[in-house]
């Protein structure tokens, strides 16, 4: 699933840059975007709200809102949305950043999103539509294991709609 996420991050990056006025794509990027669009054409519809099944492989992630970080699990990805399970609900239309890392390849992804739908309360199933230019950052592994500590921050109902 991480390979598909990496592939779609490039698609979302080009699509977001294409949609922004003032940052046109180069000719080769336009061709790349058209090629990627052909590959994901059948993957552009978001299914309706409902519970998400737990696949064999999940990707741990964090939902970052205004003053809050909530642990989440990426259950599946499509060109239309990223489907995650979180400890609690997030309001439809809320802005959030989905952050995840791939320790094997040393890549961190930060994807600005809007909640397309939320189903259930604990755990909550969410469909997140990428809403902006995602980033991919490379890092090196540190010997200090404390860098993986999770910190609970703020009141958990501060996602902005």
Q: 2-141 — its CATH code?
A: 2.40.10.220
Report residue 80 as tokens.
Answer: 């239309």
Residues 6+ apart with CB under 8 A from 121: 88, 89
Domain boundaries, the chain: 2-141
Reported as a single tens digit per residue, the pLDDT across 124-161 is 999 999 999 999 999 865 545 444 444 454 455 556 65
66 vs 83: CA distance, rounded Å: 21
Q: What is the pLDDT of residue 92?
A: 94
116 vs 102: CA distance, rounded Å: 25
Reported as a single tens digit per residue, the pLDDT across 104-123 is 888 999 999 999 999 998 89
Reported as a single tens digit per residue, the pLDDT across 66-113 is 888 999 999 999 999 999 999 889 999 999 999 999 888 889 999 999
CA dihedral 49, 73, 116, 12 (to 10 degrees): -130
Q: What is the pLDDT of residue 84?
A: 97
Q: What is the pLDDT of residue 142?
A: 55
Helix axes of 27-40 and 2-19: crossing angle, nearest 10 degrees: 130
Largest CA distance in the chain: 47
């Amino acid at each position: 699933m991480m390979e598909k996420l990496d592939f779609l991050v490039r698609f979302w990056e080009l699509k977001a840059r294409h949609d922004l006025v003032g940052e046109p794509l180069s000719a080769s990027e336009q061709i790349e975007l058209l090629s990627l669009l052909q590959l994901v054409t059948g993957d552009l519809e978001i299914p309706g709200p409902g519970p998400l099944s737990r696949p064999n492989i999940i990707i741990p992630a964090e939902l970052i809102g205004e003053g809050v970080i909530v642990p989440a699990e990426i259950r599946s990805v499509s060109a239309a949305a990223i489907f995650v399970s979180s400890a609690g609900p997030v309001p439809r239309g809320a802005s959030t950043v989905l952050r995840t890392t791939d320790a094997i390849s040393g890549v961190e992804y930060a994807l600005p999103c809007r909640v397309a739908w939320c189903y259930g309360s604990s755990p909550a199933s969410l469909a997140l539509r990428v809403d902006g230019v995602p980033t991919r950052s490379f890092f090196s592994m540190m010997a200090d294991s404390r860098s993986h500590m999770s910190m609970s921050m703020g009141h958990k109902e501060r996602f902005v709609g």
